[in-house]
Every structure is written in structure tokens, then in C-alpha cells.
Chains A and B, each alone.
Chain A
Amino acid sequence: MKRINGMLLSSLLPFLLMVVLFLFVPLIFMIYGGFQADGRTGFSLNQYAEVFRNAYYHQAFKNSILISFLSSLIAILFAIFATYSLTLFSSNIQNRVLIFANLTSNFAGIPLAFAFIVLLGNSGLFTLLFKHIGWELLSSFNVYSWSGLVLIYIYFQLPLAVMLLYPVYQGIQSQWKEAASLLGASPLQFWLRIGVPVILPSIAGTFSILFANAMGAYASAYALTGSTYNLLTIRIGALTTGDIFAKPELGSAIAVLLGITLVTAMLINEWLTRKVRRDLS
């Protein structure tokens, strides 16, 4: 028995050391920082009071939640229909599309923001094209604005939504469809009574993952407008490392609040996943 503990201990120790140093310690420092007054002094609830008082941070919360909700909703709607269509194609095509989705899901952050600037920036490809055709409304589209950011968020949510929903459709067995149609159900009835109720919890779970993913995103918005766009992650970054307006204690408090939002989204997903499993067993 002694030898067994030897291997376990000698591998666990460095692992635990890394996890403590780079996950627990920063977590504790962040939570502690949120309860300090400016300049690392004393214990105070001022930072949280400031977040709840200041309309500027209200707006950051509102913007982050709105863009995460909107981009997740649009991405999941497209993915629900496209992924179902995908399951009707040959497995070869399915694999290729999934590989492509995986590939583009890695295309995020700065490179992605830049790709959209090339398309829709001040002298972007589409901007020029629309100007040439004379579609004034579209040629005045501003990628550095709210709507530009939404397009970029949808881009990195879409492949993730497809990859997460694909296994969900695998769970709907063709036997169910055959059984339903033998009993006289139309395809519409099958989806309304069987298909949708079965996949609905998974869709909601996927939605919460997408939502959390968008809430934590930072690089794309930063690449587009630097620190000017009022999103939670941008505010946290600016408060923590900003040169003049650095208020790391306030940044910590906002980071804690964002973390709580993400944990909640994760817990909702876990709860829904467990619900599915219970329903099916």
C-alpha cells in the first residue's frame, strides 16, 4: 500500500501546488480585494456600494447582458435549424462541417475583430460594395458600434452552438420518428409532442453556456474600440491595469459579480442536463 501512495502523492503534489498558486490564490486575492477600500486598505463594502450606485456600471452590466443574450439567441436559433439539417446529410459531410465549425471556433478575439473591420470598416469590402450599388443605409453601417459588435459575437457563438447541439440531435432516434408516424403522427406533431420536449432542456443548457461564453469575452471588443466600449470585461480590464484611472479594488468587486453570473449560468446548465438524463432513464 505504501508504494501506491508514493505515486499518487508524487504526482498530486505538483498538481495541487499549481492549482493553489494559479487558481485558488488569485481567486482569494480577488474576493479579498473587492472588500478593500482604495489603495489596499482596511475592510469596506464601498466597492460594491459604488457598483450599485454608479449608473456607468449599471450600463456596463446592461450592455454585457444584452449583447450576450442577443448574440446567444441569434446563434442558437440559426444553429437549431442548421444542425438539424446537418444530421440529414452523409456522415462524411457531417464530419467536414463539424471540423470546419471547430476550426472557426478557434478564430476569435483580435483576428476575428480584424476580419470584420476588413469587411465592414470605413473602407471595408462590403462598405465599398454597398456604396457602389447605392445602398446608403447599409454603407453607413458602423462596425465600431453596438451592431458591429453583435455581428462579431454571433460569429464566435455560432460554431460553438452547432458543436454543442449536434450530439443533442443524435439523441433523437429515428425509431421514435418511425414509431410516431406508424401511429399516425405527422412530422409536425412528432416535433411538437416528442422532438422539441426532448431537446428543449439541452437547448436551454446550450444557451446558458453560450451566454456565459459571451459574458466573459474581452478581446474582440477591446480590439474594436480599445477601452471605450462599456462592457463588464472591458471595465474590469481598464480598472485593473489602466494607467490613470486604475481602481483595482473596484475592478475586483466587478469581477466577483461577473464570476457569480457565470457560475449561475453554469449551474443552470448542469441542472438542466441532469433533468434530461432523469427524463430519459
Chain B
Amino acid sequence: MKVKRSFYHYLTIGAVLLYLIVPLLGTLIYSFSTQWHKTILPEGLTFQWYKELFGDSVFLKAMGRSLILSFGATVLSLVIMVPTIFSIVMYAPRLEKFIQSLIVMTYAMPGVIIAVGLIRAYSNSGISMVVVTVGAYFVGILPYMYQGTRNSLRNIHAVSLMEAAEILGAGQFTAFMKVILPNIMTGILVSSLLSFSILFGEFVLVNLLIGGSFETIQVFLYKKLNVSGHIASAIVVCYFILICILSVVIVKVTRSKKGTV
């Protein structure tokens, strides 16, 4: 059935999309413009800011630190969370309520709140605050990793798969590694990418817990805001392109998964 769409429906969606696109476009143009202080349109276009940015070793180092921090926390979460959720689903379904209440707790404790507690608990304990940040990230991405793993296990009917594998003589661990894991790979890949992109944009914890001593890309951007608007906008554009790439991969992986089922 073809529904007649009035102009009104284009208007409502258009207004929302416009509001979301304009700041992105503005930043994009600004990052390519030579001078833009008095005229309506930029006085000229240039690649200068990108050249400067990628020639800056401080930027590259900050990028590296961000990658290590987000990647490290995501891998740690994969290694610990996936077997945990699996075991709970298989052998202790009653514990799912416990995980769900943990998730509600993480929603009720956003970056600022948990940072207060972490500083009080660990700032004088001798533990490196970088390690503490990774731990806080682990807790922060818990909801996404739980949802992804839980849904994947449900989709492949993990309980009957495990029964079949064990009847055929596979040990518990072997069955998990060789039967379950390959089947839920795409699902946990999607939640890992999602977690990674969230952590890559994280500023609150990194700023409050480690701040100046471990400069990530977000802290670098914050410092550049008052120094050079053009460079800052080039960083924002690079950052946005990275989230775009991650999102495209997530969508592609999700689609191909649907195709095979």
C-alpha cells in the first residue's frame, strides 16, 4: 500500500535532520578555510590545517593513547564479559537479574559521579590512574557488551547447541571455544565496535582521573579549542570520520549476519 505523504511529514523530518547536519557541515567547511573572520563565506580553501595536524607529533601521540585506552578496555571487556555472560545464561540464569541491576547502577552513575568515587578510593593508593580509567571504562561499556552477547546467545539457541556439543563428547570449554564463540562472533564484534567508538569519544573520566599526564585525543582537542579554531575543527572532522567508518562497519556486519540466518 502506498501511503500518501504530505509536505508536513517532509518538514518534520527535514527540520530534525537539518538541525543535526548544520553543525557538522559548518565545522567541515571551517576546517578547510584559510580565513573566516569578517566575510560570509571563507576567504579561501586550504589543506594547511590537516597538514599541520598530521605533522604534529603531539597529536599523533594523543591519537595513539586514545586508541590504546579504548582498545585495551574493549578487549579486556571481551575476554572477561563474554565467558561470564555465557556461563550465566547456561548455568546460572538467576544471576541475570544481578547483571541487570548492575546495568541500572551504571546508568545511574555517569562519568562525573563514578570519577568522584574513583578519585577518593584510588588517588593515593599507588595504583596508576590509567589502570583505574581502564577499569572504569570496563564498567561503563558493561551494558552494551551484555546486550550484544545476550542477544547473540539467544539468537543461536546456545543452550541446545551446548547440549548437542556435549552429547557428541566435547568438553565444556572446547564446546564454548569451537561451537559457541564462532557463532556469536559477529554479534560481539558489533558490540565491541560500539563500545570502542563510545570510549574513543570519552572525555569526563580521562579529564578528571588523569587529565594532563595522559593526554588523549579528547584532552588534546580541549586544549586546542582556545589556540586554533581551524586545527580544532580539523580534529573534530577526523574524529567524526572515524565514528562514521566504525558505524558503517557495524551496519555492514549486522546486515551480513541477518543475511546468513
Q: How far is the CB of B33 from chain A (nearest CB, A)?
A: 10
In the complex, which residues 226-261 of chain B have their Cβ closer than 8 Å to any Cβ of chain A?
229, 232-233, 235-236, 239-240, 243-244, 247, 251
Residue with the greatest number of chain B CB neighbours at <10 A, chosen from A101, A216, A217: A216
Cβ of B221 and Cβ of A266 under 8 Å apart? no
Q: How far is the CB of B69 from chain A (nearest CB, A)?
A: 15
Tell me if A102 counts as interface (CB < 8 A to partner B).
Answer: yes
What's the count of A-B pairs with C-beta under 8 Å?
246
Cβ of A15 and Cβ of B84 under 8 Å apart? yes
Interface size on B, residues (CB 8 A): 86
Would you call the interface of chain A mostly helix, strand, loop, or mixed? helix
Cβ of B16 and Cβ of A158 under 8 Å apart? yes
Tell me if A150 counts as interface (CB < 8 A to partner B).
Answer: no
Cβ of A18 and Cβ of B203 under 8 Å apart? no
Would you call the interface of chain B mostly helix, strand, loop, or mixed? helix
A59 to B213, CA, bound (A): 33
Q: From the candidates B95, B102, B113, B211, name the one contacting A258 in the complex (CB within 8 A).
A: B113
Residues of B within 8 A of A8 (CB): 87-88, 91-92
Q: From the candidates A125, A222, A237, A263, name the one contacting B30 in the complex (CB within 8 A).
A: A125
Can you name 25 A-B pairs with beta carbons within 8 Å? A3-B172, A8-B87, A12-B84, A19-B102, A21-B135, A22-B118, A22-B136, A26-B117, A26-B136, A30-B113, A81-B12, A100-B17, A106-B198, A109-B203, A111-B240, A117-B225, A118-B23, A123-B37, A158-B19, A216-B112, A236-B116, A251-B116, A255-B116, A262-B110, A263-B108
Seen from chain A, the residues whose Cβ lies within 8 Å of a Cβ on chain B are 3-8, 10-12, 14-15, 18-19, 21-23, 25-30, 33, 78-79, 81-82, 84-86, 88-89, 97, 99-104, 106-112, 114-119, 121, 123, 125, 128-129, 132, 154-155, 158-159, 162, 212, 216-219, 222-223, 233, 236-237, 240-241, 248, 251-252, 255, 258-259, 262-263, 266, 270
4 A-B pairs with the lowest CB-CB distances in the bound complex, closest first: A26-B117, A216-B110, A30-B117, A85-B9
